Amino acid sequence: MKHVILTPNPYRDTNFQTVRAAMKVLKDAGMEPKLCLPFEVDRSYELPKDLRFHKLDRELQNAELVVCFGGDGTILHMAKAATRKNVPILGVNIGTMGFMAELESTELDQLARLAKDDYVLDRRMMLDVVVQRDRDIIFHDIGLNDVVITKGAIARITHLAVKCDGVEAIQCGGDGVIVATPTGSTAYSLSAGGPIVEPEANNILITPICAHDVMSRCIVASDRRTITVELVRNARRNAYLSVDGGKALRLNMGDVVTIKRSPLQTKLIRLKDRSFYDVVNMKFKKIQG
């Protein structure tokens, strides 16, 4: 491996100290790292003049790996672009949890192993999301973590009908519903009372958010199912959809959200020989202090 893209989150990596150290490790190992911003920064944010930033879309054409510096949000943001180009991702955690990150910022020396192809690939399922309004497709995206449909900031409940392969699974009134992958089981779904699911499992999780009906419980469905979500009735007649925490799309009565397993898979680089349960235990101990 030689051509590596480094995508630091400028709001987390103060003065790009972590990415600078990573560049030195990679260059010393004989690789050719190039810096790219994972997203557009505010115009008021001043980038260091001694660092050269390249165009992400252009560099992804020939890249062999993307190294993300930040939290899980940075990795999720990069996952879509990298996966569409079949480029694997390695996460370096500068955030709080970092479930998807392989390394902490204190373990950058491990990056030298990439030059010798000393790593394994971890393939993660993604979700394909389509929103249909009347006969038109108004939204299409892919997500690694989850699809969230909520009432937004309105202090009223939203009523949603969730179907699996056309058969009603749950009809819940509350703050909304989360449809997640096993990777996303440790994110918002977990906070809403959903189970922790191994990333290797082939499942789609359906987790109601603050459901008023006590019978509304999380469903662990097969990845072969097609999930549809529709608004049943709502005082304001709208809800909001977000994929992997991205920009929200306003949904109207009659819109149909269709969610199924995507043919694309996110590839995560693994350098450590550790169990998923080791990661879970370590992260929760970190939270507890």
* Contact (Cβ atoms closer than 8 angstroms) between residue 5 and residue 65: yes
Mean pLDDT of 177-189: 96
Confidence of residue 88 (pLDDT cuts 50, 70, 90): very high
Of 131-135, 259-263, 272-276, the range with the lowest mean pLDDT is 272-276
Confidence of residue 152 (pLDDT cuts 50, 70, 90): confident
Mean pLDDT of 254-271: 96
Q: What value does the mean pLDDT of the chain take?
A: 91
Q: How high is the pLDDT of residue 76? A: 93
Catalytic residues: 72
Query: What whole-number percentage of the chain has pLDDT above 90?
Result: 71
| H-run or E-run covering 131 | strand 120-133
**84 pLDDT above the threshold of 60:** yes
Q: How high is the pLDDT of residue 83? A: 96
The C-alpha atoms of residue 85 and residue 249 are separated, in whole angstroms, by 25
Higher pLDDT, 288 or 46: 46
Q: Extract the tokens encoding 238.
A: 């709208």
pTM value is: 0.92
Q: How high is the pLDDT of residue 120? A: 95
The C-alpha atoms of residue 231 and residue 254 are separated, in whole angstroms, by 7
Nearest one of 5, 57, 55 to 31, comparing CA atoms: 5
Confidence of residue 237 (pLDDT cuts 50, 70, 90): low
